[in-house]
Structure 1
């Protein structure tokens, strides 16, 4: 988990011109597009809002996984932290 946190911090704050950093950001963009595609299936999510919501979900995920305040949490506990935040964000 610690290596993953270091990777996430580097992905967010590192040099985007560095090849591996660029590859990581491409994965983030692909993930956000996949989340946006799922959100577009819901009639309550406006077409223009899907990409913005996906970007916010991505930010919640990265911050929850990389934050030092969550160091003692298990993977399942971090998933629950993310789930609670996303539940508040998305329409029901």
Structure 2
């Protein structure tokens, strides 16, 4: 999962202003608007990849993996938002 999430976090830390805009679009933009729609599509693909990872272990069901993926995304986005807030001060 870290191999999937790490590039997103690194990009956000390198391009802080773009990362803030991206996060803002995810939170406040409507899904019919072009930029939030693209951001939501990227998030969906990332969550799909994250969900597929634990399914490599036979003990993890697809349902459990599908439930975990949005939680991982939420934690990553929260961490990126907190990081952006700290560096803005």
Q: When the two structures are superposed, what TM-score results if normalisation uses the length of structure 2? A: 0.69
- Give the RMSD, CA atoms, in angstroms: 1.8
Could you list the runs of 5+ residues in structure 2 that have no partner in the other structure?
A: 1-15
Could you list the runs of 5+ residues in structure 1 that have no partner in the other structure?
A: 73-92
The structure with more helix, counted as a fraction of residues? 2
Contact 2:30/2:36 (<8 A) preserved = yes
* Pairs within 5 Å for 1:10-89: 10-67=25-82, 71-72=86-87
Deviates more, 1:29-38 or 1:62-71: 62-71
Q: When the two structures are superposed, what TM-score results if normalisation uses the length of structure 1? A: 0.67
1:4 to 5, 15, 19: 19
The count of aligned residue pairs is 72
Q: Distance in 2 between matches of 1:65 and 1:47?
A: 27
